């Protein structure tokens, strides 16, 4: 159970900013400085690895620091590399190692913007968004013409529900340095606003920026595939996911995404095999939960319960490593009918920490599942305030309207959910279809 990690994302929703690594490149010479060079400060993007080189980089940085313990730059890079290892392995123990290394770098040089942006990204990965915003702003003050801090700031603002400010930060990042990281954030912002065609265009620019790099290529194709999947374009999504897995063999994020397509296409055995590979590689709780749902749909309730039980252990491990899990665990409990009152308390805490459209939506769903539908309705309206096209949020609104005795409104929202993505959820799409019969 050491290899367990909760992504922010949602990956943070789209997934590009939950972790804080960079693109590590081989270069002439053996010293870490030769590996990364001055360009690294601008190339720390979204936590991508290149063929697993990060483990070697960690070893080299550790060796350098044994010889030169006052080398602030190496401490900073080691902190970033530990964050990348968390993403690669799913082991949240790397969070503490990253924190310690970055704190040591800050003690040696309190004016290095890269240290503060690294700490900000670490806070994002732990779902501590107000801390991330504060650290990102410190990094910006130290280096206002550097793009990276604006990514941290924008990600934090979006998760805090301050969308207009967050999008401005993304725009500034793109102006300062058009790159995979900035294009991906622009794509996500457009997706939140319901501008899907424009979101696809920006993600294709991100794919172009990732050419020749294995994991960045895989990640961007997965994100593009998700845009297609969310609109019921399963063949197009599968095409992108297959490219991702071919570019980066064994890529857990691609395997999980492809499993979701296969489930939507009714190919449950293939979906189970793919999800098993994803869970074995990086056992994220959402992968474990989805594998349980697949087992249940395939007529194996005992295997499903075994997967669901792992979520408790995952939560404990994540909390022990400083990750706030209230939103994700609340949603899991609500979807699976587990301790609904406790899930409501979690949702209330999560929404206070994370007053985004996702926080609003999960709280609305929690209130509805506890038969407090009149209270749920305003939160559902807030969850939809940006114009986001999201079948799950539409479904939650439909269930709230049905609970309130508004059959026409409920049917309209069920219809919108299914029209957007007919197989949006292995659990809830069948409920929506039955409601429209």
Q: What is the pLDDT of residue 314?
A: 87
CATH number at residue 336: 1.25.40.10
Residue 47 burial (C-beta neighbours within 10 Å; 0-12, 13-18, 19+): buried
Q: Would the pLDDT of 42 be above 60?
A: no
HSE-up of 216 (CA within 13 Å, CB side)? Answer: 27
What's 10's DSSP letter? B
**From CA 381, how far away is CA 400, in angstroms rounded?**
11
Range with lowest mean pLDDT among 44-58, 102-116, 201-215, 419-433: 44-58
Banded pLDDT at 52 (limits 50, 70, 90): low
- The answer to whether position 413 is within a domain reads yes
CB 59 within 8 A of CB 89: no
Q: What is the pLDDT of residue 30?
A: 41
Q: Is the dihedral of CA 121, 328, 256, 388 positive or negative?
A: negative
Q: What is the pLDDT of residue 90?
A: 76
* CA 287 to chain CA mean position, Å: 12
Which helix or strand (DSSP H or E) is residue 345 part of? helix 340-353
Banded pLDDT at 49 (limits 50, 70, 90): low
Range with lowest mean pLDDT among 25-39, 118-132, 229-243: 25-39
Q: Would the pLDDT of 12 be above 50?
A: no
- The answer to whether position 388 is within a domain reads yes
Rounded to 10 degrees, what is the CA torsion of 185, 187, 191, 197? 170
Q: Would the pLDDT of 153 be above 90?
A: yes
Average pLDDT, the chain: 89
Q: Would the pLDDT of 16 be above 50?
A: no
- The answer to whether position 389 is within a domain reads yes
What are the backbone angles phi and psi of residue 8, rounded to the nearest 5°? Answer: -75, -5
The pLDDT tens digits for 397-413 are 999 999 999 999 999 99
- The answer to whether position 430 is within a domain reads yes
Banded pLDDT at 54 (limits 50, 70, 90): confident
The residues, ordered by sequence, that sit 6+ positions from 191 with a Cβ below 8 Å of its Cβ are 14, 199, 227, 388, 389
- Of 37, 15, 11, nearest to 26 (Cα)? 37
Q: What is the mean pLDDT of residues 168-183?
A: 96
Q: What is the pLDDT of residue 215?
A: 84
Q: Would the pLDDT of 220 be above 50?
A: yes
Q: What is the mean pLDDT of residues 296-301?
A: 97
Query: How many structural domains is the chain composed of?
Result: 1
- The answer to whether position 80 is within a domain reads no
The pLDDT tens digits for 64-99 are 999 999 999 999 999 999 988 887 777 889 999 999
Angle at 125 between CA 237 and CA 176, to 5 degrees: 75
The residues, ordered by sequence, that sit 6+ positions from 108 with a Cβ below 8 Å of its Cβ are 70, 72, 75
DSSP string over 181-198: HHHHHHHHHHHHTT-HHH
Domain containing 400 equals: 325-435
pLDDT > 70 fraction of the chain, expressed in percent and rounded: 88
* CA 269 to chain CA mean position, Å: 26
Number of H helices, E strands in the chain: 24, 0
Q: What is the pLDDT of residue 282?
A: 87
- The answer to whether position 414 is within a domain reads yes
**From CA 28, how far away is CA 32, in angstroms rounded?**
10
Measured between alpha carbons, how far is residue 203 from residues 76, 165, 170, 240, 324 in Å?
30, 21, 14, 12, 29
Q: What is the pLDDT of residue 40?
A: 40
**From CA 243, how far away is CA 227, in angstroms rounded?**
15
pLDDT > 90 fraction of the chain, expressed in percent and rounded: 80
Q: What is the mean pLDDT of residues 292-306?
A: 97
Structure tokens at 190: 């457009």
- The answer to whether position 166 is within a domain reads no
- Of 54, 86, 56, 52, nearest to 248 (Cα)? 52
Structure tokens at 368: 């509805």
- The answer to whether position 231 is within a domain reads no
Q: Would the pLDDT of 162 be above 50?
A: yes
The pLDDT tens digits for 18-29 are 222 232 233 333
The pLDDT tens digits for 318-357 are 999 999 999 999 999 999 999 999 999 999 999 999 999 9
């Amino acid at each position: 159970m050491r290899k367990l990690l909760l992504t922010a994302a949602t990956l943070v929703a789209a997934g590009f900013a939950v972790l804080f690594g960079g693109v590590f490149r081989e270069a002439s010479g053996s010293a870490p400085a030769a590996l990364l060079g001055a360009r690294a400060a601008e190339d720390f993007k979204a936590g991508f690895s290149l063929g697993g080189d990060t483990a070697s980089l960690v070893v080299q940085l550790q060796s350098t620091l044994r010889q030169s313990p006052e080398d602030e730059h190496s401490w900073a890079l080691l902190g970033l590399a530990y964050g990348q290892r968390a993403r690669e392995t799913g082991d949240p123990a790397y969070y503490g190692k990253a924190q310690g290394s970055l704190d040591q770098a800050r003690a040696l040089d309190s004016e290095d913007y890269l240290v503060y942006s690294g700490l900000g990204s670490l806070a994002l990965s732990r779902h501590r968004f107000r801390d991330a915003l504060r650290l990102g702003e410190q990094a910006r003050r130290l280096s206002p013409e550097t793009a990276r801090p604006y990514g941290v700031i924008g990600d934090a603002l979006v998760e805090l529900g301050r969308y207009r400010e967050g999008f401005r930060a993304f725009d500034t990042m793109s102006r300062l340095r058009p790159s995979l990281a900035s294009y991906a954030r622009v794509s996500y912002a457009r997706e939140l606003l319901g501008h899907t065609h424009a979101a696809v265009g920006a993600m294709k620019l991100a794919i172009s920026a990732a050419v020749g790099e294995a994991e960045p290529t895989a990640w961007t194709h997965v994100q593009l595939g998700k845009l297609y999947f969310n609109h019921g374009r399963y063949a197009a999504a599968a095409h992108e996911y297959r490219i991702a897995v071919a570019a980066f063999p064994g890529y857990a994020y691609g395997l999980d995404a492809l499993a979701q397509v296969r489930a939507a296409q009714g190919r449950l055995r293939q979906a189970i095999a793919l999800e098993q590979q994803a869970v074995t590689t990086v056992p994220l709780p959402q992968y474990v939960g989805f594998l349980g749902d697949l087992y249940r749909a395939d007529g194996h309730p005992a295997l499903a319960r075994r997967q669901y039980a792992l979520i408790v252990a995952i939560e404990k491990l994540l909390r022990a490593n400083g990750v706030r899990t209230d939103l994700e665990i609340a949603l899991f409990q609500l979807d699976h009918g587990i301790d609904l009152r406790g899930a409501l308390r979690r949702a209330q805490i999560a929404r206070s920490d994370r007053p985004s459209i996702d926080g609003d939506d999960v709280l609305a769903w929690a209130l509805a599942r506890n038969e407090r539908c009149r209270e749920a309705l305003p939160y559902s309206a807030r969850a939809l305030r940006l114009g986001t096209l999201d079948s799950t949020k539409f479904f939650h609104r439909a269930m709230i309207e049905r609970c309130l005795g508004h059959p026409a409104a409920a049917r309209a929202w069920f219809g919108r959910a299914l029209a957007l993505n007919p197989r949006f959820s292995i659990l809830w799409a069948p409920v929506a279809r039955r409601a429209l019969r």
